[in-house]
Amino acid sequence: MNWSDVEIFLAIVREGTLGGGARKLGLTQPTMGRRLKAFETTLGQVLFQRTPDGFVLTDEGTAILAHAERMEEEALALRRALVGQERQLEGALRLSSSDWFGARMLSPVLAEFSLQHPKVLVELITDARLLNLSRRDADLVFRITPFTEPDIISRKLLHIEYGLYVASGSEHPSRGNGAGAKLVTMDEAFGGMPDVAWLKRMLPKAEVAMRSNNRDVQARCCARGAGLAVLPRPLGDAIAGIERIDIGEAPPGRDTWVGYHRDLKRLARLRALLDLVIERLAN
């Protein structure tokens, strides 16, 4: 059985369409269709039911899915092991972080690293999703939730204080009230964030004027007078046109964690970048 055929099978399972699977693997849709047909012929089974909404696994497809995923784990482990032995400071590194953290905290460090190691290509993805380190969706991930995956090496990088900000010169609200105040806060998908609960408790009568999962957007809307915003202080303190105010209790801060797969612990370029990040940012 050809591993690349299994990879095509899994891409279609996860994306739901030939087109989506093709984009995932960098192939054309006709190529995906031909390869899938050949794979089904080799197995003597129809693996997908073609529907108007996409490809749905048949019973036969479902039966081989777990086996295909185990093959994928072995292939990825082999790939990580080979990459992890690389000692030279050249090649690519893929990082993931939130938007504001990448722009405000990581970008100066990455620029410094690029000057020190010009043969290393760093790709930074600013994404709120929890990317899979085992599948090498990213090599190094920065996030605000601790890593619990057994194959991940991680550490707390730093604690970040948050503050409540208003447009410069705007009226300051009163703790426990907030009547008449407008808020710029996280969208509903992130309604469980600690600062959202803090705002509801501290300013129960304030009204939400805008929502965004992007902290930079929140900060700039705040600066334009759209409403109060809770922001990480490295971001809020650097934005012109807003000021941090004290209503008797600071918003809860957040820890930032960094993690990578254990198979990459000997990867020289990853170690060099991580050492620089720790030296510049850790507290």
- Residue 87: per-residue pLDDT: 58
- Residue 82: per-residue pLDDT: 60
Helices vs. strands in the chain: H and E counts, helices first: 10, 12
CATH number of 91-159+255-282: 3.40.190.10
- Residue 127: per-residue pLDDT: 73
Reported as a single tens digit per residue, the pLDDT across 131-175 is: 565 566 789 999 999 998 888 999 999 999 999 999 999 999 989
- 3-state SS class at 240: coil
In the chain, ranges of CATH 3.40.190.10 domains = 91-159+255-282, 162-252
Q: How far is CA 169 from CA 195, 243, 246, in A?
A: 23, 8, 14
| 161 within 8 A of 237, measured Cβ to Cβ | no
- Residue 114: per-residue pLDDT: 95
pLDDT at 220 over 70: yes
Reported as a single tens digit per residue, the pLDDT across 83-141 is: 555 556 888 999 999 999 999 999 999 999 999 999 999 999 987 665 565 566 789 99
- Residue 89: per-residue pLDDT: 81
| 113 within 8 A of 122, measured Cβ to Cβ | yes
The verdict on domain 162-252 having CATH code 3.40.50.2000 is: no
Task: Find the range with the poorest average confidence among 69-78, 172-181, 257-266.
Answer: 69-78
List the Cα angle 222/170/227 in 5-degree steps: 30
Global confidence as pTM: 0.68
Reported as a single tens digit per residue, the pLDDT across 25-46 is: 888 888 888 889 988 898 888 9
Chain centroid to Cα 224, Å, comes to 28
pLDDT at 218 over 90: yes
pLDDT at 193 over 80: yes
Alpha-carbon distance of 275 to 86, in angstroms, equals 17
Alpha-carbon distance of 113 to 277, in angstroms, equals 9
Alpha-carbon distance of 68 to 61, in angstroms, equals 10
In the chain, ranges of CATH 1.10.10.10 domains = 3-82
pLDDT at 265 over 80: yes
CATH number of 3-82: 1.10.10.10
Burial of 96 (0-12, 13-18, 19+ CB in 10 A): buried
| 96 within 8 A of 128, measured Cβ to Cβ | no
- Residue 50: per-residue pLDDT: 87
- Residue 134: per-residue pLDDT: 58
The 8-class DSSP code of residue 193 comes to S
pLDDT at 217 over 80: yes
- Residue 138: per-residue pLDDT: 86
- Residue 270: per-residue pLDDT: 93
- Residue 70: per-residue pLDDT: 84
CA-closest candidate to residue 133, choices 178, 179, 66, 76 = 76
